[in-house]
Structure 1
Amino acid sequence: MKAMTELQLEDRHRQFIEKMALEMAKTAPKSKENASMHQTHLVDQRKTGGLKKALKPLQFHLTYEKGDGAYLYDVDGNKYIDIASDNGVNLFGHQPAFIKEAIVNRLDKGYPLVGYTEELTQVTKLFSELTGHERVLLTQSGTEAVMWAVRIARAATQKKKIVIFEGAFHGLSDAVLAAKDQFGNSIAMGLGMLQEFADELIVLDYGNMDHLNVIEERADEIAGVLVEPVQSRNPANQPIEFLKEVRKLTLESGVLLIMDEMITGFRACCNGVQGLWKIKGDLATYGKIPAGGMPSGMIAGPAKYMNFVDGGVFDYDDNSMPSVKKALMAGTHTRNPIKLAATLAILTEIKKRCSASGKDACEPNACFLQDLNEKTMLMCEELNSFFVMKRVPIVIEYFSSLFRFRFLDDPNGVVKELLMILMRMNGVETSPSGNCFLTVVHSDKDIKAIIKAIKQSADTLLKEGFFYESDTAEEDDAQEEVQAATPARADKTNKPVQEPKKDDQMEKLRDLIVSDLKNFQEKGVMI
């Protein structure tokens, strides 16, 4: 089966879409009104993500009244099971009691921004304990954390170039945003972005062993290799052996390895993919989960690199002074006490759950997150089996509790957007970014309801003719692509899928997968 493109839609499809639009207008009238009337003053790039002319009456953002646990409630009184999880922030669901209590207690004391509060030292000590990194720097966002990590790498090595991998996302800084053209050259990604920034980036293919030669040959000009150990836009690609080789090569070449664990940190296991795969970066960036819903980011690493931020440790009662020349970094809200209170509450809860296993430190096979990760795997496998049985070109790729829908023949097409809209109408809310998550507060009943909603939505698309029979040759190719793209079930929940061979069927999907990057200019970048 193949999905209808927007240009292939017929009158019967348009009539069905009109019917859906009328139903949505009745179900969520206040949300639709809010989405329209506030555009004059509100600038929001996210509203254009995935926007299709044929579906525009259906693609307005909901106005939420509240979030509670695993659920979202809109201003029209509708309840949804939330699998957007605020783009991966809410590991413990919306407004867990322990975070609310910590924030309220801090609010009662005020929130001075300039000096230290007790939470600051508690947070950094506990963060180091959980991640295994020596020193920690707090930032105001994930984008800022990655931007500063790159600056630290350049300061420490006195070199300019940064290696990134196609398909990864490291935030909105010009310092880490570039695409690769057909000749392998780095190019600026959009309006207002300078080619001069892109020229300092080397874009390679993640998992391609042949590209290690580029790092080796150009090591004398490379300050750092920046990597999402499991790319949020391509979670089925888990090239552990490739990453081990990158780690070995960077150690031998005097190049810093920066592990961007913005999404996988505190999700794959307590100390992230670095702990799970036993591959530790020189620097690591975090955000989302450990900030407890507050705007924040973190950079962690050994003193020899982190000292480039504050000059290193010194004593106030002797003649010692900062010993390292500093790179410029500052921010008014870097140590905001409200976010520190939330972060301390999250880290304390994580440590408590780790300690419940009787272990002094997190062990991947005994991590409290393994149960959640296994539930995610079982849910995705059931749905992938359903898609195969129905012969629709959809695969759910997953890693830990992150999962993502992949349309194999039209990855950003109208049918993909229709599936998300139908899921909403069936009581499940997703994210425009495409990344979905389970949380520890999703019950077995919730997961069954999610599965049911997805199946009903796909069945509706089939019934209404949004998939059609391809010819025999196309069908054979599509079946091969489905088999290649479906993640293999691992013996252990987070055992990595074997690195794809250069000539296997995954290579045929390359142009489809990287279309996320190529569409950034017209759709906007979303995290």
Structure 2
Amino acid sequence: MNEQRRLTATLDQDLASMAGLVQRINEQMNTAPAVSPAASPAVESAEQPRMHGPRVEVAPDAGMVRTGSSRSQQEHLDDLIRRYTARTAASKQLAQRHRRRLADSRAIVGYRRSTKEMLYPVAARRAEGARIEDIDGNSYTDITMGFGVLLFGHEPAFVREAVREHLSRGIRLGPRGVETGQAADLLCELTGMDRVAFANSGTEANAAAIRLARAATGRDRIVTFQGAYHGHADQVLGRQAGKEGTVPVSRGIPGSAVAELTVLEYGSESALHAIEQDAERIAAVIVEPVQSRHPSLRPAEFVRRLRELTARHGIVLMFDEMLTGFRPALRGAQDLYGVTPDLATYGKLLGGGFPIGAVAGRADIMDGVDGGYWSYGDDSGPTADTTFFGGTYLQHPVSMTAAHAVLTHLKEHSPRLQERLNARTTELATGLNAFFENEDFPLRMGWFGSQFRFEHRADMELLYPHLMLRGVHVWEWRNFFLSTAHTDSDIEHVADAVRGSLTDLREAGFFRTATTTARRSGHDRPAPATAPRPAPGATATDAVAAG
């Protein structure tokens, strides 16, 4: 108990230090009202706190507008809040009405006193394709896209019809549905994996994969990397704390839960060395191949060396392909790196909007679910030792029906589907990055395949309510996606909204006016070196995200 209190105190101290750093940065941002605080050299060069996992705290007094900000900035914020809350009044009323009883982690992401009046998710009334309509009647081009689930847009016809046909004959929970085996066959065919087991979510799939790896190797230690996210199971919610080793990312997670977790720097030589040194204790190394928070970080050579290292020591290499699975290419990030992991986990788009997770991989590891293959009519039977895996809603018939429809669609339309969507995302990113550079705005768009995010060199919190006011739906964690349902006009609408929002902020005094040199040279500069190819291939740039 004393050890747990000490670790908790250390974590609190670290978080307090990070909050203090944010406060000092924002104080520097507001020392010269005539110059954009977000564009000041002190802010752009400041080292940002390095966070791991889902717990990110922002100092309540932080923000683009605070004590000492210019009058034009404060007036702009006041007007922004007035317009935003008037436009989405019903959503705000809904959030307030249910706050006392509905415990909702999304409700406090990015909480700042200066913008708390705009801190609520819009509630949707309908959605179709790339569009949603909120309960106030506002229409949006959606780039949240179900947090990466909706590769084909809201309510794709082929999923809707498959589910409707299934439900016309009852849910049929309990008996085995024919779609389950069909979906398993398709997933293994498309990914090249031997066997697959289905779960209800990405968190559940990752937890099952870790258990299978430990069962197969007889070892306990798990390695993850800073900046990755593998769900909300206790065993992966740790971060490095210097000499303290791995500590929980928040209260409520016991130190014992992360006692067998090592968190290393993704893409670093030191990470390979640490794995080599501790190899005999490591059951699995878990990789989010392209981290959702750092889409420009794609250390191809590192991953290939990691594959050789883990194979040599009998360590299970596991790819968490929740977001990268099927989206940039049929085999996800495995195509990018030219690496086949021992296990891979999937979810998100696989269910077409219905809850799902999947663990796929080598037969000898997956046999830990059911003992392995056997046949009727002979003396064969399960031969492998098994670990625990089960749950009421595993292989839910509606989710399996949707997954079968999704996998069938992917088989019929890949790779053209991904190549076209990747190319359109690249066009959006390179166009906006040229605008950012030409106009000297402190951000760039990082992307991989058809997922992207805006990487800031300064606090850009007010950009996002501006985008909402201009009819672009964004969410708190700021990972965005294009879908096959987005039209050329939808994509141009997004680009126009970004340009217009930044221009409005500059006119309010938040960013210095672009220099003549920046404007002139911006037209002649090539696309950023970290730009991904329209379709991920065998090579990739080892790049670090700016934000």
- Which TM-score tier does this pair reach, normalised by the shorter chain? 0.7 to 0.9
Is 1:225–1:256's contact at 8 Å kept on the other side of the alignment? Answer: yes
SS in 1 for 2:417: coil
Q: Identify the residue that residue 149 of structure 2 maps to in structure 1.
A: 89
1:439-482 deviation line (CA, Å, top 9, x unaligned): 11111111111100000011111111123589xxxx99xx9xxx
Q: Identify the residue that residue 362 of structure 1 maps to in structure 2.
A: none
- Normalised to the residue count of structure 1, the TM-score between the two structures is 0.87
Matched, 1:315 2:315: no
Following the alignment from structure 1 to structure 2, what is the Cα–Cα distance between the partners of residues 348 and 448? 30
Quote the offset at 1:497 in angstroms: 4.2
Q: Pairwise mapping of residues 65-104 of structure 1 onto structure 2 (< 5 A)?
A: 65-104=125-164
Is 1:393–1:408's contact at 8 Å kept on the other side of the alignment? Answer: yes
Following the alignment from structure 2 to structure 1, what is the Cα–Cα distance between the partners of residues 103 and 65? 27
Pick the aligned partner of 1:53 from 104, 113, 116: 113
Is 1:259–1:285's contact at 8 Å kept on the other side of the alignment? Answer: yes
More displaced 10-residue stretch of structure 1: 80-89 or 110-119: 110-119
Matched, 1:164 2:224: yes
1:300-337 deviation line (CA, Å, top 9, x unaligned): 01210000011111224333321112110111111111
Quote the offset at 1:490 in angstroms: 4.9
Q: Identify the residue that residue 338 of structure 2 maps to in structure 1.
A: 278
SS in 2 for 1:285: strand
Q: Which runs of 5+ in 1 are unaligned?
A: 355-365, 411-415, 501-505, 514-527
Following the alignment from structure 1 to structure 2, what is the Cα–Cα distance between the partners of residues 462 and 243? 41
Pick the aligned partner of 2:541 from 481, 493, 498: 498
Matched, 1:342 2:410: no
Q: Identify the residue that residue 520 of structure 1 maps to in structure 2.
A: none
Using a 3 Å threshold, how does the CA distance of structure 1 residues 343 and 300 change in structure 2: closer, same or farther? same
Pick the aligned partner of 2:426 from 363, 370, 377: 377
Q: Identify the residue that residue 501 of structure 2 maps to in structure 1.
A: 457
SS in 2 for 1:12: helix
Using a 3 Å threshold, how does the CA distance of structure 1 residues 241 and 367 change in structure 2: closer, same or farther? farther
Following the alignment from structure 1 to structure 2, what is the Cα–Cα distance between the partners of residues 486 and 153? 39
Pick the aligned partner of 1:305 from 365, 384, 390: 365
Following the alignment from structure 1 to structure 2, what is the Cα–Cα distance between the partners of residues 135 and 184? 39
Quote the offset at 1:493 in angstroms: 3.8
Q: Which runs of 5+ in 2 are unaligned?
A: 1-35, 39-62
Following the alignment from structure 1 to structure 2, what is the Cα–Cα distance between the partners of residues 275 and 10? 50
Is 1:398–1:487's contact at 8 Å kept on the other side of the alignment? Answer: no
Matched, 1:389 2:438: yes
Q: Which amino acid aligns with 1:488?
A: T
Quote the offset at 1:13 in angstroms: 2.4
Following the alignment from structure 1 to structure 2, what is the Cα–Cα distance between the partners of residues 339 and 275? 26
Using a 3 Å threshold, how does the CA distance of structure 1 residues 287 and 172 change in structure 2: closer, same or farther? same
Q: Identify the residue that residue 479 of structure 2 maps to in structure 1.
A: 435
Q: Identify the residue that residue 25 of structure 1 maps to in structure 2.
A: 85
Quote the offset at 1:112 in angstroms: 2.6
SS in 1 for 2:432: helix
SS in 1 for 2:462: helix
Q: Identify the residue that residue 37 of structure 1 maps to in structure 2.
A: 97
Q: Which amino acid aligns with 1:45?
A: S
SS in 2 for 1:405: strand
Quote the offset at 1:185 in angstroms: 1.9
Q: Pairwise mapping of residues 7-22 of structure 1 onto structure 2 (< 5 A)?
A: 7=66, 8-22=68-82
Q: Which amino acid aligns with 1:459?
A: T
Q: Identify the residue that residue 510 of structure 2 maps to in structure 1.
A: 466
Is 1:2–1:392's contact at 8 Å kept on the other side of the alignment? Answer: no
Q: Which amino acid aligns with 2:481?
A: F
Following the alignment from structure 1 to structure 2, what is the Cα–Cα distance between the partners of residues 212 and 465? 46
Q: Identify the residue that residue 136 of structure 1 maps to in structure 2.
A: 196
Matched, 1:264 2:321: no
1:469-511 deviation line (CA, Å, top 9, x unaligned): 89xxxx99xx9xxx9x9553356542554224xxxxx59x6xx
Q: Identify the residue that residue 530 of structure 2 maps to in structure 1.
A: 488
Q: Which amino acid aligns with 1:498?
A: T
More displaced 10-residue stretch of structure 1: 280-289 or 32-41: 32-41
Following the alignment from structure 1 to structure 2, what is the Cα–Cα distance between the partners of residues 431 and 316? 52
Following the alignment from structure 2 to structure 1, what is the Cα–Cα distance between the partners of residues 234 and 283? 16
Using a 3 Å threshold, how does the CA distance of structure 1 residues 334 and 491 change in structure 2: closer, same or farther? closer
Quote the offset at 1:23 in angstroms: 1.6
Number of matched pairs: 480
Matched, 1:422 2:422: no
SS in 2 for 1:320: coil
Using a 3 Å threshold, how does the CA distance of structure 1 residues 62 and 492 change in structure 2: closer, same or farther? closer
Q: Identify the residue that residue 448 of structure 2 maps to in structure 1.
A: 399
Quote the offset at 1:6 in angstroms: 4.3
SS in 2 for 1:397: strand
SS in 1 for 2:403: helix
SS in 2 for 1:112: coil
More displaced 10-residue stretch of structure 1: 194-203 or 289-298: 194-203
Using a 3 Å threshold, how does the CA distance of structure 1 residues 383 and 335 change in structure 2: closer, same or farther? same
Q: Identify the residue that residue 525 of structure 1 maps to in structure 2.
A: none
Using a 3 Å threshold, how does the CA distance of structure 1 residues 102 and 256 change in structure 2: closer, same or farther? same
Is 2:238–2:248's contact at 8 Å kept on the other side of the alignment? Answer: yes
Following the alignment from structure 2 to structure 1, what is the Cα–Cα distance between the partners of residues 197 and 471? 40
Quote the offset at 1:11 in angstroms: 3.9
Is 1:236–1:487's contact at 8 Å kept on the other side of the alignment? Answer: no
Quote the offset at 1:175 in angstroms: 1.4
SS in 2 for 1:223: strand
SS in 1 for 2:423: helix
1:241-281 deviation line (CA, Å, top 9, x unaligned): 00000001001111000000000001010111113332010
Following the alignment from structure 2 to structure 1, what is the Cα–Cα distance between the partners of residues 270 and 309? 13
SS in 1 for 2:126: strand
Matched, 1:105 2:147: no
Q: What's the % identity of the aligned pairs?
A: 35
Following the alignment from structure 1 to structure 2, what is the Cα–Cα distance between the partners of residues 421 and 299? 38
Is 1:141–1:297's contact at 8 Å kept on the other side of the alignment? Answer: yes
Quote the offset at 1:82 in angstroms: 0.2
Q: Which amino acid aligns with 1:37?
A: R
More displaced 10-residue stretch of structure 1: 389-398 or 2-11: 2-11
SS in 1 for 2:430: helix
Q: What RMSD, in angstroms, separates the aligned Cα atoms of the two structures?
A: 2.3
